[in-house]
Structure 1
Amino acid sequence: MPTDPRGLRSDAPLLDAWLRFHEDAPTPFTIPGHKQRHDLVGDVVAGDVPLYAGLDTMKLSRGVLHDAERRAARAWGVDLCRFSVGGSTHGNQAVALALGRPGDEVVVSRTLHRSMLLGLVLAGLVPVWVRPEVDPAHGLPVGVAPTAVDAALREHPRAVAVLVGDPSYVGTVGDVAGLADVAHAHDVPLVVDAAWGAHLGFHPDLPPHALALGADVVVTSAHKALPAVSQGALVLARSGRIDPRRLDAGVEATATTSPAGGILASVDAARALLERDGAALLGPVLEAVDAARARLGEVDGLVVLDGPGTDPLRLTLVLPGAGVDGNAVEADLLRRGLPLEMADRDTLCAMVTLADTPAGVAALADALLESLARRRGPARPLAPSGVWAVDPETASTPREAFFAPRETVPLEAAVGRVSAELVAPYPPGVPVLAPGERVTVASLDALRAARAAGSRIAYAADPSLATLDVVAH
């Protein structure tokens, strides 16, 4: 029989409903088709309870989802919360539909995840790109400067929103409060894709979350930094500069009509855990990561991200000065059962959460130190990835290019043509080319360099990069 994790029942209505379902299982004549039988396809369906006629009645008469969302809104200090079983991808696209009308401009950080950029396609919004600053000490993005956003809004006074990602994929944290001040001075909302930052603000040694710093909307993944099931996410918003009805409509327009109750219940449980025990669980892990960071910082030439402007829970290493290839280190760690969130030639990134243990973090540090010592070679000069530096040349709106007739051409012949597809090295999933942008030598060089460094080229019709889909003449 399922058990109640950490006594969260009574403050997690969706979890409570999930437990009740298993304690007094019905004989359902509803979907899902497995009917709770584990003898057909195995335990892979264990715990799969639908929202409709599962956690709630088919008519949602108990209101458990609404109750859970209300509690999450209270936890983050906002008016509105919607749970998602489609990850932050769904949340970002729902928010895009809520911001304006087709043809409206939005100021967008170029390092936003591809899900929001494809949300612009769905909504017909036109991006005004702003680039993050890159720290010369480690070659990684540190956030978009408020002055850059202010300049963009002055040049595009009809823009209807500012969209940024914070914290970044590599754990850097920008000036969200400054961005909120600038956006609000121009009377537009600040939307933050905080997919990697659901834990922020729930321990005194962590940066505040973006909503506490003035953001109007935050999309965050409960399955990344919190112990929720994969695809669990939250959309959190305060009304005023965002129309709650439009946001609700955007969520419903892009959501499945058969949401997985297990995912929803896990988001609810993660929220209740974070509120009640988050600080107690985070404290020892933060201390362990700090200790690991100190040990790794003794490696000559290795850059370990630390200090203000970083998420203390993320362990990010920059390798060129230590003469180490991150792909080789990743292979060593995989052999020891220690996969990393990100690894390419120059960067390693370990995702640490409140579910980790000090012993586990120490073991990771041991394995890293051993591999770094064994793999050490001549130091390389720091060469920031072109992913963070390519300046897009806009030729048409993303929506126009996405729906335009397209043709496939050899990669070299694509230079000067307009991309019909979105192409991004993964990780981190930040586009080098987006629909509607002119293909340049610099963009192709950035893609080739990312692939040579060990990144997978994602979302392209031809991941080998032999060809590219462009808008037909």
Structure 2
Amino acid sequence: MGEAGAARSGPNDPRDPRGLRAHAPLLDAWLSHAERSPHPFTIPGHKQRTDLVGAIVRDDVPLYGGLDEVRLSGGLLEQAQARAAGLWGADVCRFSVGGSTHGNQALALAVGQPGDRVVVQRTLHRSMLLGLVLAGLEPVWVAPELDARWGMPCGLAPDALAAALGDAPDAKAVFVTDPSYVGTVGRLGELADVAHARGIPLVVDAAWAAHFGWHPDLPPHALAQGADALVTSAHKTLPAWSQAALVLARTERIDPARLDAAFEATHTTSPAGAILASTDAAVALLERDGVTLLGGLLDLVAEARRALAAVEGVVVLEGPRVDPAKLVVLLAGTGADGVLVERGLIAAGLPVEMADRDTVVALVTLADDRTSVGRLVAMLTDLIERHRAEPRSTVPAASWSVVPVQGCSPREAFFATRERVPLRDAIGRTSTELVAPYPPGVPVLAPGEVVTEQVIAALESARAAGVRIAYAADPDLMTLDVVNGPAVAGPGDAGSR
């Protein structure tokens, strides 16, 4: 970036109010593109003409022939990625425009060969499971600990991981999700020690933890706790565009050339420059103002927790193993139905990240202030009172409590000849489908797993409660696709815990 670009930036520039372009080469290139007003003879075909399809295309600038030359001779993306790698203490950083989904699948392709076994926390996001399909890896499932008070996952127990690796001494990697969708935090340092004692990498889906490590009251990020790689979404807890994500890795146990090849194999060849620039800007914001901004966010969430905890019957998730920036409200003690509460919030213009019968998850970020959070708390309190009923026991959601029975590998099931059968006739058969309540997108049933009575009951219960059942071939879940043949227990069956 030249001196002219730095001079243009400042608190009075409405396009860069915090003066970040001086610290973020991709952001500077995006802003400079608008200042030049070129008429490119490159993709995208809209050429930012808003008179054709409207303002939706105004800010869409490509990386190739937009932020940088088609040959990438400016090296702007490499500069931005190298800077982020240094900030996270990584050897490698890649910016993705495909979200954490892309990062998870790239890492699955990077750690083994088809047929290799890997130990996987069962509450993984669907993207990692489909990464196993792409890579042909055989999962050895391990269930997370469940907190009986909340019915929520609390991360993988180191002893459970050690036992799984004892049963699968040939495993090539360990995949975990931390923090969970509801903000509970595990013991990554201990898990890293267990994995490293076997000489294999610990890979962490940290999609909800882009802010970790940037304030003393937040947990350290996964690499700082000893993990070998992490994937995180800049668009979830940071102010970046949708689909913005980072893949960060250390290369002692992960081959950087293999990771680079895997990343490119699953990435678009036409990355959106605006998404990349927003990632760069979000990283620059963290580096410069993260402690101050995150401190304010933590104060807001703490105030909201106190106010909601004062409502009779309400429980908020908090404590040393919970992300202090996450606002998760448990409703069982109020008798209120979270799905009905969510409908009221949507009607009030306050949609939340997730709601099921017992839980409401509201994502509070750096973009919030006391006015927005205060409005949420007031409306949530009012709706809880409006729908208050007889208190009930907390029941762990199917996403956290499913016990998988492996019939064959995910890849084998995905490519198998399939037949569609009525839902209850699928019991005892091997699923070719991935079915998950969404959010959080954690599979209750995955390709290669035997359909059990427990799984069917869980899906029917979630559907009856008004939860969206996602990814099934039959959106009404009256039928299910199964392998054209009886269920046969495979090697993964012995490794399921």
For 2:491, the equivalent position in structure 1 comes to: none
Query: SS at the partner of 2:18?
Result: helix
Structure 1 runs of 4+ with >6 Å offset: none
Contact map agreement 2:339 2:467 (CA 8 A) in 1: no
Identity %: 65
The answer to whether the aligner puts 1:216 opposite 2:228 as a matched pair is yes
The one-letter code sitting in structure 1 at the alignment partner of 2:366 is L
Write out aligned runs for 1:231-270 (5 A): 231-270=243-282
Q: Is 1:454 paired with 2:466?
A: yes
SS at structure 1 position matched to 2:78: helix
In structure 2, do the counterparts of structure 1 residues 218 and 5 end up closer, same or farther at CA, with 3 Å as the change threshold?
farther
Q: TM-score, normalised by structure 1?
A: 0.98
1:62 to 55, 71, 74: 74
Partner of 2:58: 46
How does the TM-score come out when normalised to structure 2? 0.94
Q: Is 1:342 aligned to 2:354, yes or no?
A: yes
Measured in 2, the distance between the counterparts of 1:187 and 1:152 equals 15
Deviation by residue 1:270-302 (Cα, 9 ceiling, x = unmatched)? 000011111111112211110111111122222
Moved more, 81-90 or 353-362: 353-362
2:165 to 147, 153, 171: 153
Aligned partner letter, 1:388: W
1:166-190 CA-to-partner distances (Å, cap 9, x unmatched) read 1111111111111111111111100
1:438 and 2:450 aligned: yes
* Correspondences of 1:196-345 after superposition (within 5 Å): 196-345=208-357
Q: Does the 8 Å contact 2:121/2:142 carry over to 1?
A: yes
Does the CA contact (< 8 Å) of 1:278 and 1:354 recur in 2?
A: no
Amino acid at match of 2:333: G
Question: Are 2:133 and 2:414, in contact at CA under 8 Å, matched by a contact in 1?
Answer: yes
Aligned to 2:185: 173
How far off its partner does 1:468 sit?
0.2
The one-letter code of the counterpart of 1:437 is E
**Equivalence for 2:117:** 105
Distance in 1, Cα, partners of 2:137 & 2:452: 23
Secondary structure, aligned partner of 1:316: strand
SS in 2 for 1:195: coil
- Write the distance in 2 (CA, Å) between the matches of 1:329 and 1:2: 37
Q: Distance in 2 between matches of 1:261 and 1:2?
A: 20
Aligned counterpart for 1:31 among listed residues 43, 48, 60: 43
Partner SS for 2:66: helix
1:4 alignment partner, one of 1, 11, 16: 16
Q: Note if contact 2:431-2:482 (Cα within 8 Å) is conserved in structure 1.
A: yes
Distance across 1 between alignment mates of 2:305 and 2:466: 24
Question: Structure 1: 5+ residue runs without aligned partners?
Answer: none
Could you say what secondary structure the match of 1:39 adopts?
helix
1:385 matched residue in structure 2 = 397
The CA RMSD over aligned residues, in Å, is 1.0
Q: Deviations over 1:216-255 (max 9, x none)?
A: 1000000001000000000000110000111100100000
The Cα shift of 1:2 comes to 6.9
How many residue pairs are counted as aligned between the two chains?
473
User: What is the rounded CA distance, in whole Å, between the counterparts of 1:298 and 1:236 in structure 2?
Assistant: 40
- Verify the 8 A CA contact 2:429 2:450 in the aligned structure 1: yes
Residue 408, structure 1, aligned to residue 420, structure 2: yes
Partners of 2:327 and 2:361 within 8 A in 1: yes
CA shift, 1:132, in A, is: 0.7
Deviations 1:88-123 (A, max 9, x none): 000100110001000000000111100000000000
Unaligned runs of 5+ in 2: 1-12, 486-497
How many angstroms apart in 2 are the aligned matches of 1:391 and 1:420? 17
